[in-house]
Structure 1
Amino acid sequence: MAGIGGGRLAAAVSRAGALGMIGVPASASAQWIAEQAAVAGEDGLPYGIGLMAWALPGNPAQLDAVLAARPALASVSFGPYARYVRPLQEAGITVVTQAGTTEEALEAEQAGVDAVVARGGEGGGHGRNDVATLPLLEGVLDAVRIPVLAAGGIVTGRGLAAVLAAGAEGAWAGTAFMACVEATVPAAALERILAAKETSTAYGRVFDVAQRLGWPPEYGGRALRNAFFDRWAGREDELDDQAVAELADARGAGDFDIAYIYASQAVGMVRERRPAAEVVADFATAESFLRRRFQQAAPPEVS
């Protein structure tokens, strides 16, 4: 949710009873993090901050800003994150990381994180595309003893109920909040999000290579398919300076035939713009789904 999930959205999610997250872009300054954290924490409610591990060596002030802000939770993922676990925990911050394979989840447990996010290939934005959410969740739950959250294509109370029934402690959601009034989404992007279907996304490294970003190659991104992606998918090595400039100009102009919109395969369920509180309330219906399903499955009483 980097670029979309700022302090305002995080605060709204936390006020509604979930844990709001600030997504930190790789180039964000320490001042930006401090400003967004002040907004997210204005009501004194818990919130979290998500960092990209691969970006921290080139921008160490981000970690310092998180340590100073002392959010309830920090997520450090996608790259060598283990070195940051202890400093964050010593500051009283709960630490999680995202894992795209069971092996990554085991490594996270060994690194000492407090919980692991099993993020399936359906997920929007960056992560592995090796394993889908459900088989990954099953494997991770079987392998680790720390709490597990599920991520990847979970946008409704039904989806949350499904992963809770499997044994997850909760869900890690992003796409569900993309059309929220508190999210930082350009009008042209919002229009495409609301019109998207479950088949509208594509996974790859086109947009990262075209921005000359240092994402580890195993972590591609899932975004709404557009003309730029289709033109360059499979030809990432040929992305030249002209293509780089084209993407940069399109981002500035809000031309989403070229610029990217990261979203999960569940984006087709995001059908209207609404407050974050309504999205959280929809997730809360998971309890009624579970209660009804388990009551139906209960054996008849014998007198």
Structure 2
Amino acid sequence: MVAALPLDIRVPILNAPMGGIAGGALAAAVSQAGGLGMIGMGSSGSVASLQRQLPLVPAGVRVGIGLVDWVVRKEPGLLDLALDAEPVVLSVSFGDDVDWISRAHDRGVFAAAQVFDAAGVERADAAGADLIVVRGREAGGHGRPLADRDALLDAAADLTSRPGLAAGAIATAADVRRAMDRGASGVWVGTAFAACRESLASPGTRRALIEARPEDTILTSAFDQAAGYGWPADIPERVLDNDFTRRWADGVEGAAAEQLAAANAADDPRGMSINAGLGVGELREERTAAEVLAALAGESVTGHAS
């Protein structure tokens, strides 16, 4: 699977298109620092929300866009708008329909497909994905927890010659080196960028991420059920365990929606959905995207070194 990325970037690092976190400002900052920034439209993604984020990318700065399959099906105009924005890379994740890949190619846009097992690697390869995001169960946010990252990287190396991006618990320069040594062409990083100053994360979310340890994360669908989101049952999200997840561990009832809404309004991490992968323990402070990118690349910026 070792192949050069078809992207004109200084370092092979992309931020994951985290819904509610990776807006235009974060994506632009990552691209300006030498990686490729991705704007994320998650569970609440919409034409209106993407229209708010696109103007935050300065003229001449190229970024990618990540969408969710079931959200696009609910609002097809979201895919049209994303393609009209001429991103470097488009990703439409968590669905079985790959027609979006040919649509991206027709517009001169690279397609990045997230996969969770060996069968997914084969489907993405056959569909013509330009980048295959090899997502392990260690990653934060939504995904099918089917395989560890390194085991899936090993499988992908035998199944495709297309460039692969390692995803899941990539939080340090050593993590990046290990993934690249294992055959990855680059990395797709979420949690390490989530508490950046340019992200859309609330103050409460940032504090919770910086204070968390890997053992504080769990897989759950409780927040999705409470919010009424259309995630399939086999795609939970890895989040920080808190009062909400413990209260509703055995099933969500009507009061859960009220508790979630109240926590969001109060920016109270005890009741909010805070996506975090197993690399969360490496977060020590709020930093800029450039500082995070430099640390992942093994460089030093404004006193921060990996």
Specify the alignment match of 2:75 in structure 1: 59
Specify the alignment match of 1:132 in structure 2: 148
Question: What's the offset of the Cα at 1:43?
Answer: 4.0
Specify the alignment match of 1:159 in structure 2: 175
1:114 aligns with 2:134: no
Alignment match of 1:74 (pick from 77, 86, 90): 90
Alignment match of 1:30 (pick from 44, 47, 54): 47
State the percentage of identical aligned residues: 38
Question: What's the offset of the Cα at 1:155?
Answer: 1.1
Specify the alignment match of 2:35 in structure 1: 18
Question: What's the offset of the Cα at 1:94?
Answer: 0.4
**Range with greater deviation from structure 2 (42-51 or 154-163):** 42-51
Aligned length, in residue pairs: 282
Alignment match of 1:146 (pick from 153, 162, 176): 162
Q: Deviations for 1:117-155, whole angstroms, at most 9, x for unmatched residues?
A: 000000000001121111111111211221111000001
Q: Deviations for 1:97-124, whole angstroms, at most 9, x for unmatched residues?
A: 1111111111111222111100000000
Bigger Rg, which one: 1
Specify the alignment match of 1:102 in structure 2: 118
Specify the alignment match of 1:249 in structure 2: 262
TM-score by length of 1: 0.90
**Counterpart Cα distance in 2 of 1:71 and 1:131:** 30
**Counterpart Cα distance in 1 of 2:49 and 2:125:** 31
**Counterpart Cα distance in 1 of 2:169 and 2:278:** 6
Specify the alignment match of 1:185 in structure 2: 201
Q: Deviations for 1:21-45, whole angstroms, at most 9, x for unmatched residues?
A: 11113333323313322322x1413
**Counterpart Cα distance in 2 of 1:210 and 1:32:** 21
**Range with greater deviation from structure 2 (183-192 or 15-24):** 183-192
For 2:44, give the aligned amino acid: S
For 2:37, give the aligned amino acid: G
The 8 Å contact of residues 73 and 96 in structure 1, kept in 2 or not, is answered as yes
**Counterpart Cα distance in 1 of 2:147 and 2:242:** 24
Q: Deviations for 1:44-81, whole angstroms, at most 9, x for unmatched residues?
A: 13211110012111111110110110110011110134
**Counterpart Cα distance in 1 of 2:254 and 2:191:** 31
Specify the alignment match of 2:274 in structure 1: 261
**Counterpart Cα distance in 1 of 2:46 and 2:141:** 21
**Counterpart Cα distance in 2 of 1:217 and 1:195:** 29
**Range with greater deviation from structure 2 (257-266 or 140-149):** 140-149
Question: What's the offset of the Cα at 1:188?
Answer: 1.5
RMSD: 1.3
1:92 aligns with 2:105: no
SS of residue paired to 1:181: coil
The 8 Å contact of residues 19 and 45 in structure 2, kept in 1 or not, is answered as no
**Counterpart Cα distance in 2 of 1:197 and 1:17:** 29
The 8 Å contact of residues 248 and 256 in structure 2, kept in 1 or not, is answered as no
SS of residue paired to 1:265: coil
1:44 aligns with 2:60: yes
Specify the alignment match of 2:288 in structure 1: 275
The 8 Å contact of residues 27 and 59 in structure 1, kept in 2 or not, is answered as no
The 8 Å contact of residues 54 and 80 in structure 1, kept in 2 or not, is answered as no
Higher relative contact order (CA 8 A, sep 6+): 2
The 8 Å contact of residues 123 and 152 in structure 1, kept in 2 or not, is answered as yes
**Counterpart Cα distance in 2 of 1:34 and 1:207:** 26
The 8 Å contact of residues 90 and 112 in structure 2, kept in 1 or not, is answered as yes
For 2:277, give the aligned amino acid: S
1:204 aligns with 2:220: yes
- In structure 2, relative to structure 1, the CA distance for the partners of 1:213 and 1:262 (3 Å cut) is same
**Counterpart Cα distance in 1 of 2:217 and 2:49:** 30
5+ long unaligned stretches in structure 2? 1-17, 300-306
